Amino acid sequence: MRLFVGFFLSLLCLMGSDVLDFDLIKMPTQKQAKPLVLIISGIQGDEPGGFNATNLFLQHYKILLGEVWVVPNLNRHSILRNHRGIYGDMNRKFSTLSQADKEYELIQKIKTIILNPQVQVIYHLHDGGGFYRQTYIDSLRNPNRWGNCSIIDQEMLQGAYYEDLLKLSQKITQKINQKILNDVHLYHTRNTQTRLHDKEMEKSLTYFAITHQKTALANEASKNLPLNERVYYHLLGIEGVLSELGVQFERDFKLTPQTIYSLLYNRNSFIEIENRIKLPLFDLRPRLAFFPFPKDKALDSVQFRSNQYIVGFLPRGDQIVMKYGNRVLSSLSPLYLEFSNALPEVEIEVDGKKQRLKMGDIFEVRHYFEVYLEDTDKRVNIIGFHGKYDNEINERVELKNLMKQYSIDKFGKKYRIEFYDKAGRFLGMLIADFSQSSSK
């Protein structure tokens, strides 16, 4: 378990809010060997199956032999807005593109990664409508549908690392179909025969890769499926491509739609803001009022850190909306303050035990806590506490002393403890978590 924690922490990412940029994560491997597989998701911001799949893949898989790089959020700015492409369809920008295009730099950057001589194989994740079939069955299952299929641009690619694209695609679909949840979901290979027939697909990422002798194919999960099932099929696709290429891996959970559902809403998910605040991602109230936020800093330059790759902030009027992929987590009403590092730690008594906590810590309480501050220049504000004073130092605080509507979570169990100096600078926040408490 310890080992896993270390691995997990190494995946923490830093993020800005709305920069036109993406993450490239080079997964640690136990043994470097060919091939290096590059997995890309999130080119279209309204296809959450792909980017939720890579988000889980990065946290719950270990590479044992071979190498895997992942770009989980290629079109992050559109993902946060649940928009296919706020500057147009990014998957049509790979043949010719004006330098005036807002995403020109970003496209150059991902092209450079695709062309990196270390990269041999590209696997590109999408969500598409309906269920692809070679012949017409009904409006949901027919040759014009894109859901649940493995897409290749042509059968063979001479000179590529893995030349027989058709065979690779068939191996993947066989692997997926062994674990199919329902016959309607059955995977097929769809060959777009791009060079001969498809002017539109010539502008796509995979075709760009093909024209540069890179083995590339796409996986589509159906938009008609719930998110956890789309992720299920994408992960099966990833496992299929890695297995066929001889990349060995380990996964720390049982691959079922039920487990995926619980991992998608993992209660250990968090976001840290400027090293002074840590918030759980899930079960927050829809709005958090008077929330300390650094003043005189553009949202783009505020430091965030999360154990999830698809978390971000968006400005909306005078609010700051916190997102997990396409999902709104909460809306912060910012209280813009000067942030200070003058109080890195505080002493707190929790259920009879004294402990030192770092700013940003979330601690569990069963019965009570009490904050000690020797320095009288500092002030504590326990949000929702009905006590006699402004400064709640040396006050025994139980759940019954806290007004439920002030909790950060919708169950009334998690409360903000904020620290300030005399000048009103914000020193940091702790969160008291009464979830394990038996009292009301």
Which parts of this chain interact with Zn ion (CB under 5 A)? 44, 47, 126
Task: Give me the residue whose beta carbon is nearest to Zn ion.
Answer: 126
CB of 151 to Zn ion, least distance (A): 10
131: β partners: 141
Which of 60, 223 has the CB closer to Zn ion?
223
Question: Coil, strand or helix: which one is 393?
Answer: coil
Q: How far apart are CA 333 and CA 40, in angstroms?
A: 34
Q: How far apart are CA 178 and CA 440, in angstroms?
A: 49
Copy the structure tokens of residue 106. 């970003």
Copy the structure tokens of residue 210. 């093909």
CB of 390 to Zn ion, least distance (A): 54
Which of 132, 369 has the CB closer to Zn ion?
132
Q: How far apart are CA 72 and CA 47, in angstroms?
A: 12
Which of 227, 431 has the CB closer to Zn ion?
227
CB of 206 to Zn ion, least distance (A): 11
Which of 48, 428 has the CB closer to Zn ion?
48
Q: How far is the CA of 136 from the CAs of 132, 147, 303, in angstroms?
A: 9, 14, 51
Closest CA to 159 of 195, 120, 203: 120
CB of 126 to Zn ion, least distance (A): 3
CB of 50 to Zn ion, least distance (A): 8
Q: How far is the CA of 222 from the CAs of 27, 129, 132, 191, 373, in angstroms?
A: 27, 5, 9, 17, 56
Residue 85 falls in which region: left (phi positive, over 0), alpha (psi -120 to 50) or beta:
beta
CB of 312 to Zn ion, least distance (A): 20
Which of 66, 130 has the CB closer to Zn ion?
130
Which of 47, 229 has the CB closer to Zn ion?
47
